Structure formats: structure tokens, C-alpha cells
Chain A
Amino acid sequence: MTPQNPTNKKVISLQNVTKRYADETVVSKVNFTIQSGECVVLVGHNGAGKTTLMKLMLGLTRPTSGKVKVLDSNPAFSSTIAQHRTLGYLPESVAFYEAMTGREVLAFYAQLKGASRTDCENLLEVVGLADAARRRVGTYSKGMRQRLGLAQAMLGNPQLLFLDEPTTGLDPLLRQQFYELIDALHKEGATSVISSHALNEVEARASRFIIMKTGRVVASGTLDELYQQAALPVRLKVTVTPGEAASVADRLGPETRIGEVNHQTLNLSCFNGDKMPLIRRITELGDVVNDLQILPPRLDEVYSHFMNGEPS
């Protein structure tokens, strides 16, 4: 999945949304908007409020205060039921009627959504369940149920997808296939909101991230924006002529933050503003430098930064 070009059409808008259960505040003063065509990933620790936020956007629960708008209307109103035809939802722990076969379950949800039987068969094929379609769901493994859940969420070419931990229980190949499916839907203009703990999987795939901590949004933006906000150092890996690493370290001077040095590599780090001057100094070293790799902070590092720091 690659980030798509979102249009300016606002499909989801949350204004100062708070959700409380008795004395516990699970979502607190959350504000964000999602444009059509975006792939937004919600990240956060367990209990950060990601699932509640999804339920609020689906109209499965009502905010204690604040406004939720999905496709220009309040999803909690029963008058918006017809809109659900254009939504796809995969819950965190997907469950189906155990006594029914995979095909029957999918056909049931397809009929509810007004999707065709051909859609069902195609999706069963796509998620690799065509051979098991005649088996009862009760005999399915966790991964198979998850795949059936994905097929169910994708019924009727949804314009808005809510996927809560969608790749849990899927093997690497199926994860790849899943993201290809999402990518195909995005190319058709779909918008998706994905909640995930698999940061390495979603890093290159999301158009935007919303990082949540104890019910609050602590950071949001594209990966580049998050790097800027976090102000984490950029790492540089310099490969030099064998045996020259120590001398190169000396020549770079004490002002350079040098990490690990071995026979022919040096790991350096610097803040974004110092990156270009450092690169210039490295290139000035001449033929002794064989290679230079610039490693920006990874999403998990950005995530750790925001989770360990104070909300911005």
C-alpha cells in the first residue's frame, strides 16, 4: 500500500470528542479530520482509546461530549443507517456465527450490504478461503477467521474502511496480500482508518498517523511531520576503506556525535538542521569514504518518543 493523494473532501471530522465510561475517560478532547482517499493509521498502547475512537466514528457508541461527523452526518443517528452500505468494518476480535459455513456467513453480510454473490466468491478467492468456504466457521483457525473478517469488511467496495488490528493472526504472505487489497481500494478512492501495533508494516503505507496515549492525541501528521515534531536525530552510516574508521572518526572532530565504530563503518547521528553540514564534511574526506547511508528515525522511535514524553 502506498500513500494516496487525498482530495480536499472531508469525510470524517471529530471536534473536541470525549468519551467517558462512569469515572473513566477513554477518549479525551480529540480533534482531527480525515480527507477522502487518506489512509490514516491510529497508533497507541493498549487501552489508548483507538477502538473506542473507531466505534465513535462508526456510530456504535455516542460521545459524552463533542461532535463526530462521518460523511457529513452524525453516525450515531439511526437515519444514517443506509450510509453503512458504504462502510467496511473489521473489529479487533472478529467473531462470526460458528455453526454457519464461511460462504454462508459472507453471503449473509453481503445481502445486508446489498453486495452480490459474485462479490462473495471473488473475496473468498482473494483472501484464500475458497477451499474452506464450505467448512463451518467453528472449525476455522484464528487466521482464517481474520481473513473472513477482511472479506466481510471489503464487501460492496466500501468507500470508508475501519480496520481494527487487521493483520493480527495473518502470516507474512497474507499480510502482503491484505495491504495489496487495501491499496486497490485506495486506488478506487476509498478512505481507510487502520488501528495497528505493527508499526513497521504501516510505516511506509499510511498517508498520516495519529498517535494516541491514554485517550488523547499526542501527535498527528505525516511521517515527515512527525519526525519534525519529535526532533529526533538522523543517523548516518558511513562505510570507509577497511582499517580507516578510527582515523575518519578523528578527522570528523569531537563536535560530531559518533556512535559505534568498527573496522570499516562508523555510525553517526545529528539533528536534522546539522545534517547537510555533516554530509559535506564527510564528502570532503575524499576517496576514503566508500558509502554513506542516511537513516531517518523509524516510526517506532517516533512512537516511543511521543509515548515516553509529555503530550504536545
Chain B
Amino acid sequence: MIMLIAKREFRSMFLSPMAWVILAIIQVILAWSFFSSIDVFFNIQAELTTLKNAPGVTDLVISPLFEVASIVLLMVTPLLSMRLLSEEKRNRTISLLLSAPVSITEIVLGKYLGLLFFITTLLALISLMPLSLSMGTELDFYKLSAGLTGLFLILAAFSAAGLYMSSLTDNPVIAAISTFGLLLLLWMINISNASTAEGSHILNYLSLNMHFSMLLRGVLDTRDIIYFLLFISGFIVLTIRQLETQRLQS
């Protein structure tokens, strides 16, 4: 049942022009960022040869690309997740889904997986850019894998938060704006952190950016992975609870 709902969700994304437009815009922005980084790399290449342990193309081109991708997708994911449940409620298609022999957990997981399939497609397209460099140079595949894992986890976290916000309202625009607000807050929650302040480590731990940047640097720390997994499962459980409450009190 979960896969059936996921397939429908994934397919329905491509039935609207929005998914295609989002894919195209992201590719254009990231391609521009990618070529700019390559340009910078060529300009400083001569100086790099003189340095001991000089950063490679993975550090100077691929990591910045993934960083830009994460910021762009922080703005774009709310647009993808906004309609997951809010549109079902607004169009009243949810009543047929709830009366079908399918549990709320299956509905939520199916919708989430559908969005993850789209995110994976997006990630596959993004990863083509760094992979194309392997034809001309040597890449640090460990760092590349860690970066891709980080990008996948952060997008999965964005999607889970977006799914939950979408369950709170029947207005997709409100769902998108509130998701963006929440993600931005969690992204920069440690921005004013003076590191000496009481509880600074809590703000650091809560920050999405903090955990993502560790993975971007190639540090595959289980604490970061667990943070993302907790973040994702937490929002999924909240969504299930929210829908269950709405169903019984509607």
C-alpha cells in the first residue's frame, strides 16, 4: 500500500508543470554555480600546485556546489511538500483515501516516500555535474559520497518537516511559507551563537546546517546521521498523530 501511494504521488508530481519547472530552474542555478566554481578553480590552479596538501577539485568545486544546492533546496522543498496533504484536504480527496483499507501510517509513509523518490531523482541529476569531472580529473569519491549522503539526508529532513506542515493546514501556500520559516529557523538557529553562551551546544546540535556541513567535509559521523534520522522520524510521527487527531475530531 505504501509503495502504491508513493508511486501515485511521484507520478502526480510529474503530471503538473511545477515539478518540471522546479527541476529545470534548479539545474540552471546549480549549473551556473558549478561552472563558476570551475572557473575559480582554473584561476587558482597554478597557486594550488605550490601548496602542500592543497585542496582538490572535490573541496573547491563539489563541496561548494552541494552547499549551494542545500540552500536552493531549502527554498524549493516547501514548494514540493506543500501540496502533499494540504491539497488532499482542500480538494476533499482525503475522505476517499481515509475510507479506503489503508492506515494513516501507510498514507503518510506513502506520501513521504513519493516525495523522496522525486528528491532522489533531483539528487541524481545534481550528482551528474560532479561526476562529469571524473572524466578529466581524479575525484575524492569518499568525500563525494559523504556530501551526497549529507545532501540526501538534509533533503529528506526538509521533506519530513514539509510533510508535517502540510498536515496542519488545507492551504498549500500557508504550508509552503510555514515550512520555509521552520527550515530557515532550524538552518540558522546557531547563527548568533557566541559559543561561550549557556546552552550553545544545544543550539549547535539543533542546527541543520551544522550537521550537514560535517558531512560536506567528508566526516561521516554517526551522531549526524542519527540527528537526521531522528529529525525525519520525529516529523513523520508528528504527521501521523496530526492526521489521526484530525480524522477523529473532524
Interface residues of A (CB under 8 A from B): 55, 58, 60-62, 76, 78, 81-85, 87, 89, 91, 93-100, 108-109, 111-114, 152
Contact = CB atoms under 8 A, between A and B. Distances in A.
Contacts of B102: 81, 84, 112
Given A60-B250, A100-B12, A108-B8, A95 B91 contact: yes
Nearest to A76: B248
Contact of A99 (B12, B95, B99): B12
A108 B101 contact: no
Interface in B137-159: none
Interface string B99-135: 1111110000000000000000000000000000000
Given A100-B12, A111-B4, A89 B96 contact: yes
8 contacts: A60-B98, A62-B249, A81-B101, A81-B102, A85-B101, A89-B99, A97-B93, A100-B12
B222 interface: no
Most chain A CB inside 10 Å of its own CB: which residue of B8, B16, B100, B104:
B100
Contact of B99 (A60, A76, A98, A100): A60
Contact of B104 (A58, A78, A98, A108): A78
Contacts of B91: 95, 98
Interface in B54-111: 91-93, 95-96, 98-104
Contacts of A94: 96
A112 B1 contact: yes
B197 interface: no
A95 B103 contact: no
A114 B93 contact: no
Interface in B205-250: 244, 247-250
Nearest 3 CB-CB pairings of A with B: A99-B15, A84-B101, A62-B248
A89 B248 CA distance: 17
A93 B93 CA distance: 10
Contacts of A83: 101
Contacts of B16: 99
Most chain B CB inside 10 Å of its own CB: which residue of A85, A99, A108: A108
A206 to B, nearest CB: 22
A82 B106 CA distance: 13
A95 B87 CA distance: 11
A85 B102 CA distance: 9
Given A99-B16, A113-B101, A152 B96 contact: yes
A64 to B, nearest CB: 10
